[in-house]
Each structure stands twice: as C-alpha cells, then as structure tokens.
Structure 1
C-alpha cells in the first residue's frame, strides 16, 4: 500500500505542477485576446495608425504566450491516459465529451484564425481582419468554457449516473453537464481573472515604457485601455467570485468549512473569519477576528441558513459511508447474480453514496468488514489541508481588492492625463506585474486542494484513479516534465523580454520625451 500511495502522490504532484504551469499562460491569453479586439476596433473606427501598431505589438506578445500555452496544455491531456488510467476508464464517457468539443470547436477555431491574425494584415480588409481578431478572442473563451465545464463536473458531478453493468459513470443528461452551475460560475470567474491578468500585463509594460521615456504614445494609450478594461474586470472578479462561493456553499460544504477553518457549526448567519490561526490537530482556530454575518450571506445568500462546520460534516460523511457500504454490498451481489432485482433495488437506493464507501479502500481492501473505527477514519480523511486553504483564499481575495484599487487609480490618472507625471504610480504598476498570476494560481490551489480526497466529488477518491505504474516510472516522467518545462519557461521569458525591449515597429511612435517632475502629458488621441 505504501508503494501505491507513492504513485498517487507522485501522480498528483506531476499533474499539479503541469496544470499550474500551464495556467501561467491561460489567463494572459484570455486577457490579451480581448484587449487586442478592443484596440483594433478603435483602429478600424478612427483609422489612426497608432492603434494598428498597438494591436500588432501586443499581438506579438500574445502569440508567444499562446504558443507556450498550447505546448504545455497538450501534455496535460495525455496524462489522463498515462497517469490516471482508471479515472479515464471510470468517468471517460462524461469527462471526455467536453474535452473533445473543446478541441473540435474552440482550439481549431483559435488556431486557424491566429494565423490569419498575424499574416492577414495586408491581405484582408480592416473589417475582415477585425473579425479575425475577435474570433481569436472568441476561440480562447470557448476553449476556457469547455475546459471549465469538464472541471466543474469534477467538482459537482451532475447529469451522469453509475452503470453497474459497465462499472462506469455514463451521461444521462448532457444539458445538465453543460449548464452545471458550478462550471458556469467557475467559467465567468476564471475568465474575468484572465481579463485582469491581461490588463495588468499591459499596464505594467506600458508603465515600464513611460518610466524609460520610450514609446510614449503607444504606452499611454495602452495604459488607458488597460485601466478601463481592468477596472471592469477586477470588479467582475469580486462579484463573480461571490457566485463561486455560493455554488461551493451549496455543493462543496467541506471545502467552504475548510477555507473558513470552521470546525463547529455556528448559528445562522455564520461569521467570516478575517484572521485566525487554524490548528488541524486540535480542531480549532486560535486568535480569530470575525466579521458577523458575512460567511452566511456569501455561502447561503440568507440570514437563516446554517453553514455546517467540519465536525458536523464528518459526522454526515460517516452516515454516507455506511449507506455506501450497502450499495457496495448490493453491487457485489449483482455481480454474482445479474438477474437479482433485490440487489438492483438496493443499489439504486444507495448508489449516490457508493463513492463514500470506496474511501475505505485506502484503509483496508475488504471494506465489507470495515469497523466503526475504519468508518470514522475514512470520514476524517475527507477534511482537506485547512491552513493552506485558509491563507491561500485570503491572500487571493486581498489581491483581488488590490487590483480594483490599482485600476481605479490608473483610470483616474488617465482621465486627468496625469500618467506621465505620476512616477510613483508607474513604479507600483510595474511591480504589480507578477501579482495576477499569483492570485490565479492561488485560486486553482483552493479549488483543487479544497476538494481532496476526491478526484470526482463524492464519486471517485483520488487514490483510486491512478494508473498501474511503478513509482520509478512516474518519478522519471516527473523529472522529465520539470526539465522540459523549465527550458520552456526560460525560452518564454527570453522571447517576451526581447520583444518588449525591441518595442513596436518604428512607425508606431512619435518622438519621445523624457518624463520628469515638470513633464507635461501629451494630449490623448
């Protein structure tokens, strides 16, 4: 069993590293694609060449990022077959459909029109090329939609049921899979976060140019667009994040309780812990500073509905494990006699809890003989790592509010034409560059670690989903991925820095001025 768990941990580490590395490129792709559409739309409406040059310059950076995103994303899908074979067998009929549609609908659309974007400037009319740019943006967002529909199903498996004859999960209502409320909430929240990333990227690079007195015309217009777009996106992230909190409160109660380090159920409406020191060993949170009612409003949208604590949720899980054991027993009887109607009836009555019984397989192979102590241990294994979730969530939320402040100040300075003279703000904007990626990675960490020990919430435990590989095989590929991705990261940073240093084509800017205390801002066009 120890060797098996080594394979599980290594497989999780490999997929986690590749997923989080891949997600370094996804938010910037989403954000820059829409910003390119906005900039080129202004060019088509005004005919001013500076906007064309802006679109082409930021388009080069978009292309570098897009290529890296594709290279890192493909390997993730291969891992489902390599490292997570039982997962692919058990839920492939459901999970594979959104991924296939993403490839056929979104990726091909995006990949086709991105070529026209780069090589069609002198071959297409202005309006036709603008349509191509917006189709690239549409493809990027559709790609995110289908990926998040697949991921949302892992968080909240709807529209599918277990078939005892095939021993697999099968689709029963594909529309329920598509319109899964968790998936839809994740989509709008993730896409908005991508827009913030793109806006911060444009804001920071433009601030760098203004601090150096280079490409001033391009930089100040880019900052104005980024400030306006970024402010709307940052506000959307907070609002739509609240929707994600509500859907998690409805469908992933243990995740919410762990994020809040809430061990005991509080009277409704529950308070939000602004600060505290979670202690998973003593099952308590020390030095708490709470905001009354806030958690209840976020998680339940009411002042009368309780938010259950970890202790109560563990007790409920024990009940579901015992119910799942009845389903497991019925499944065993059905395998012995396929015609047994009693076994099918018993299985149907407890099928929703079958996955909870499978948690016992981590403790003992003969789960039919599980003791009360085994059930209790399995129930406590459903509590994720509380302290990392608690602090990751708060840092992510803090960064979200910081972005609102950043874009609000940028918008004010741009509207007053004071960007060139506000050197302190330009330095803040430049230093903000890595923060949206940190926030995005924290968001994924909270989403994925928060649902452990499940790979499919309530259906399939993570430790059961891995392939029959040796730990040495997984470790070898893990080292290979780390080496390959490290090289890609160096190449990506080199290409990005080189493109930024070169700047736009010479015709993109007018003679520059050296900013200083007495410098006057140039009039915006």
Structure 2
C-alpha cells in the first residue's frame, strides 16, 4: 500500500521549490534579451547612456540570475532524493534533456554571464555585444531543454514501456525533442518571461520618473520596455491559444476541468467567461457563456466536439478495466517471459497500464478491485475543478491587462508623454502581476495533470522515494527557512541597486550629459547641462 501522506508531502515540497525557483526564471528570460537590445543601440550610436542602461539593468539581471541558478540546483537533487522511483522509471527519457539543460545553464550560460560582467574593458564593443546576444540566446535555450523534459511528462511521445526492465525507454528522440506540447510550452513560457522583464524595467523606470531622477535614462528604458512588452504580451495570448489547442489532443480532462465543462456540448462548444463550479452537484452555477469560442480555440473547427468531464470519466473507467488486464499480463510475464498469451494480452492493453496502477492507491494488487473502486479510480482522474477554473481566468485576465498596459505605454512613449503621472503609478503598482500570472500558469500545468506524474502512464503517488513523513517535514522546514532568507537578501540587493541608481559612484546623481547648450543670461552665454 502507498503512504499517501508521504506522496502528498513530496508534492508540496516540490511545488514549494519549483514555484519559488520560477520567481527568478521569467525575469532572467526577459531581461537577457532587453540587455542585448540596449547594448546593440549603444554599439550602433556610441551614446554612453545606452551603455549605462545595459550595465544598470545587467546588475539587476545578475542578482536574479544567481538566485535562479542556486534554487534550480535544489530541484534537480529532488528528482533523486524525493522521487527516486520516478527517476528510475523515466531515467532513459528524462535524463538526456536534464543533462543538456545542465550543460547549458552551468557551463555555456554561466560562462557567458561572466564574460558579460567582466569583459567590458577587455573586449571590443562588437565582441562584447556578441557575448550579450549569445547570453540571451543561451538563457532561452536552457529553458527549452527543461520544458522539453516537462512537455514529455505531459505528453510522453517517442518512448515505450519495457516490461523486461520495468522502465520507460526512448524509441524516437526526435519525437521527444519536437513534442508539440513541449514546443507550445516553450514559446508560451519565454513570451511570459519577456513580459515579466519588460514590466520590471517599465515599473522601475516609472519610479525614477515619479522621483524626477535620471529622467533621460528612465525615458529611454521605458521606451524599450514598452515596445518589447507589447510584443511579448501579444505573443503570450497568441501562443497561449496554441497551448489550449494542444490540450485537445493530449490532456482533454485538463481542458474540460479548466472550463468546468461537465457534459459534452454540441459543437462548437461555448467558452465560459465566469461561473461557479459545483463539484458535488457536477454543474456550474450562473455561467456566462460566449458561443463557439471554446470550440474554435480547442479544435480549430466548427464541427468537432470538446468532451466534458463526465464523458471523460466514463472513458477512464473503461481504461482502468483494461489497465487491470495489462497489470495481470505484466505479472504473468514477469513470472514467465515466454508466456505468449500474456505477451499478446499486454501488447493489446499496455497503453492503459497506468490507469490500472491508479488502483494501487486503494490496494496493493489492482486485480482485487471492486466495481466501486474502479469507478472511484476513474473519478480520481478529475483535477480540482474550481482551482483550475479560477486560476485560468485570473491568468487570462492578467494577460489581457498586460496588452492594455503595454499598449498604453507604447502610445505614450511614441507621443513623448513619458511622464504622464497617472500611468506611472499604474505601471509601478502593476509590477507583481506577471509573476502572479506565471505561477498560475504553472499551477494549471502541473496541478491540472493530476493524478499523473507522466500523463496516462504513471500516477504521481507511485513516483515517490521510500521516505517517512518526518524526513520530508524537516526538509520542507529547512527549505522554507533558507528560501525565505534568500528572498529577503535578493529583495534587499535589488532595492539597494535601484535606490543607488545607474550613476552611483560616477560623480553625479542626475546622470545628465556633460554636453552643454547655450542659455541667455545677463552676462552673456552660460553653460546649462543638456537633459
């Protein structure tokens, strides 16, 4: 029997570390490309202010990068320490993307970051610019490999279960690499990172303008952030639509749950804007629907159905029954690998084995299951519908708000009305929103595929290590204390550098150019600093 307390605590621990780590990832992704853009302008124009911008925002990038790397290491250790059976089960598939991601993050990316910070006076302008662009590209490629690994967990293509080794094994690495779910997740995630980086720059620039400090610097930074953020926010919505389309083919239960769609609607299905899901009565109260929209997003057609939760449960019940047959055949093969009848039965039902394993939550041998237990296992495939429903709507609402915010910023910057005070306050107080949306996105992705650690193949509770609850509680407490301290250090460092401003130690607070322009005075012409 499975100790569900250990399984639940292991999930909480990984969620804690993963969501904490992802506080740093989006900002790293977004700032890296903005640094490359700013330095490109510096190299093309030779204007010192653009170099100052690159260095200032680069310092904040460095603080964030250091915290992101240090918290990411912890997650990789957890695969072996808290999820040892999962690591054994999928090591042939999961190991390669993680290894490549490690090489990208800890060798290529870290080396380029070092060259970025220490190469200003040791390299030509063009060589340093090339380093900055490679750093930005390397940062995004690092994210690609981890999302390929995660995408495989959502859609396990290019691999098969080997009954002799009791493991998943790669049969087509290119299928793993070009997994449509992984590709959709990658472009959606990096676009969200671009929005996060852009709003970070926009909000701090707004603070400088509200304080009437470094106005020339802040206006230029705000202009770059407005254009980059508008591009990123539009991309997030478009690429999020592609992620929704991928769910139709790979995770239909997740799609039905985030829409709280209990029954299958006549095609094309409507999109529910708001409502109140009622799990007990299996309905959604006071639903406000927009006709056709869900069908168009999910199927790209007007005549294909989007299946509801309860019809999908009925399908899951049949798959659980087939999974019991697969489990029975597997046990017979382990006893006698030459049992032809068992091998034939396993080949017919092997894709439903994971559904049979859902029953191990209730008993050691799925073959002992009663009809009621089979039905209960089928209902276990439904994620938490209210959490999914509202998380998606808050995330989507923030995404639309970002388009409005950056669209307004772009117009104001184009009209040279950077110091519109009401907008500066709105931009400043909007700073937390991209992180909220990003965390909600991961909640939808990971919590939404429960009860699976590998979609349709391995239930989450079977992936844990042989630990006890006390050990996990101790590590949760340790991580909470450590990460809490790191969060305080990171925020204090960020605020320290922001308060100092881009010209600290350079002989002036304003950062204005040393060029002069004539001004009339009683005694003739006097030099006045140009803004």
Query: 1:457 corresponds to which residue?
Result: 455
The answer (yes or no) to whether the contact 1:109–1:135 under 8 Å persists in 2 is no
In structure 1, what is the equivalent of residue 496 of structure 2?
A: 498
Residue deviations 1:379-437, cap 9 Å, x none?
001100000110010000000000000011100000000112x1000000000110100
User: 1:106 deviation in Å?
Assistant: 4.4
The aligned residue for residue 320 of structure 2 is 321
User: Alpha-carbon deviation of 1:373?
Assistant: 0.8
Give yes or no for contact 1:99–1:147 (8 Å, CA) kept in 2: yes
Hey, what's the Cα distance between the residues in 1 that align with 2:513 and 2:35?
24
Encode CA deviations 1:119-177: one digit per residue, 9 max, x unaligned: 10010000000011011111110010000000000000000000011000000100000
The structural deviation recorded for 1:217 is: 1.0
CA distance in 2, matches of 1:7, 1:331: 27
Find the counterpart in structure 2 of residue 280 from structure 1.
279
Asked if the contact 1:107/1:143 (under 8 Å) is kept, the reply is no
Aligned to 1:375: 374
Contact 1:193-1:234 within 8 A present in 2 as well: yes
| TM alignment of 1:31-180, pairs within 5 A | 31-180=30-179
- SS in structure 1 at match of 2:436: helix
Structure 2 residue aligned with 1:347: 346
1:324-473 pair list within 5 angstroms: 324-420=323-419, 422-473=420-471
User: How far apart, in 2, do the equivalents of 1:254 and 1:108 lie?
Assistant: 39
Q: 1:505 deviation in Å?
A: 2.3
Cα distance in 1 for partners of 2:80, 2:11 equals 14
1:10 to partner: Cα distance:
0.7
C-alpha distance after superposition, 1:280-318 (max 9, x if no partner):
111110000000001111111111010000000000001
> What CA distance in whole angstroms lies between the structure 2 residues aligned with 1:338 and 1:511?
80
Deviations, residues 249-278 of structure 1 (Å, cap 9, x unaligned): 111000000000000010000000001000
Q: Deviations over 1:75-130 (max 9, x none)?
A: 00000011101100111111111000111234411100100100100100000000
The match for 2:520 is: none
Aligned to 1:297: 296
After superposition, the C-alpha distances for 1:40-73 in whole angstroms (9 at most, x for unaligned) are 0000011101000000000000000000001100
SS of the residue aligned with 1:287?
A: strand
Deviation at 1:503, TM superposition (A): 0.7
| 2:287 aligned counterpart, secondary structure | strand
Q: For residue 266 of structure 1, what is the aligned residue in structure 2? A: 265
Aligned match of 1:515 = none
Question: In the TM superposition, what are the counterparts of 1:234-249 in structure 2 within 5 Å?
Answer: 234-249=233-248
Secondary structure, in 3 states, of the residue corresponding to 1:124? coil
Unaligned runs of 5+ in 2: 515-529
- In the alignment, what sits opposite 2:511? 509
Runs of 4+ with deviation above 4 angstroms: none
Secondary structure, aligned partner of 1:274: strand
Matched residue SS, 1:165: coil
Please list, as runs of the form range in 1=range in 2, the aligned pairs for 1:471-490 lying within 5 A after superposition. Answer: 471-490=469-488
User: Is this contact kept in 2: 1:107–1:140, CA < 8 A?
Assistant: no
CA deviation digits over 1:417-468, x for unaligned, max 9? 0112x10000000001101000000000011111000000000000111000
Query: Alignment partner of 1:315: what SS?
Result: helix
Task: Work out the CA distance in 1 between the residues paired with 2:513 and 2:175.
Answer: 57
1:21-40, aligned counterparts within 5 Å? 21-40=20-39
Aligned to 2:343, the other structure's residue is in SS state helix
Q: CA RMSD in A?
A: 1.3
After TM superposition, the score normalised by the length of structure 1 is 0.96
**Counterpart residue number, 1:195:** 194
